[in-house]
Amino acid sequence: MFQYSGVLGVDNPNTFAQKLQAHVALEVPDYKLKWSEDASANCDRLAHIQSNVPGALIRIDANNLWGSVDDSIRALLPIANAIWAVEEPLAQPALTDALKIANETGLRVILDEAVLNENDLIPYLDFPEAFIFNLRVSKCGGVLSGLEMARSCRKSGLPVVVGAQVGETSILTRAALPIAQFLGAACRAQEGAYGLHLLQRDVVSHSMQFGRGGRLLPPPIFHGFGWGLDCNLNGLDEPRA
C-alpha cells in the first residue's frame, strides 16, 4: 500500500474549492500547495485546506519564488506553524542559503531543481535535519539511477519525497513504486498516481490511481518481466479535444 499527497495549484477560488472538495471526498490527508506571488490568495488557499481538512499535513511548493534569503524568511515565518516544509524557495538555489532558511523558519527545505543527479545531491547529505530530496524518476534519469540516489539518501538519513510530473501516466506511477518501497520510512511523501482523476485517458487498460485516503494498491505481477501493466496505446496520435 502506498500513500499519496494531493497536489493543489494556483487556481481561482471557485476552481480551487472544486479541486479541494474532490480530494476531501477521497479523504486525502496530505497536501502539497503551490505558492504564488499573491500572498493574500496564498493564505486564503492555505486556510481553505485547513478548514476543510482538519489536521492536514501541508507543504508548499514555492517554485523558486523569492529572490533573496531574507525575502523568503519574511514570507515564510507567518505561516511556519501551518506547514512543515517548503519546496525550492529561492530563485538561485544554494546550500548555505537554503540551510539558513531551514534554520530560521524551522521548516524542511525540499530540493527539486537544485538536485538533478548524484553529484548535486552529495553536499546536502550532511544535513538530513534540514533538507528533503524530491526524487522524480523522470528527473533523475530513470529507475536505476533513481534507486542509486535513494540509496545515498537512506544511508545518510536524508528524507525523500518520491515526486511526479503533472500528468504522468500509470507507467511512471508504476516505475516510482520500487523506489518508494526501497526507501521505506525514509519516504516522507509520494506524489502522482492521479490516473483518470486527472487524465482524459491513460496508456494502460487499468489506470493506476489513488483511492480513499490517497492510498494505492498496485497491481500484482504474477509472471514474466516488466511492471505488470497492460499497455493500450491506441488513440495516442488522435488530437485532443
- Domain ranges in the chain are 2-216
Strands (E), the chain: 2-3, 6-8, 30-34, 57-61, 85-87, 108-111, 131-135, 160-162, 187-190, 215-216
- Report, as ranges of residue numbers, the positions in the chain whose pLDDT lies below 50: 240-241
| CATH pick for 2-216 out of 3.40.50.300, 3.10.400.10, 3.40.30.10, 3.20.20.120 | 3.20.20.120
| pLDDT reported for residue 226 | 73
pLDDT digits (tens, 9 = 90+) for 9-28: 999 999 999 999 999 999 99
| pLDDT reported for residue 228 | 77
Global pTM reads: 0.91
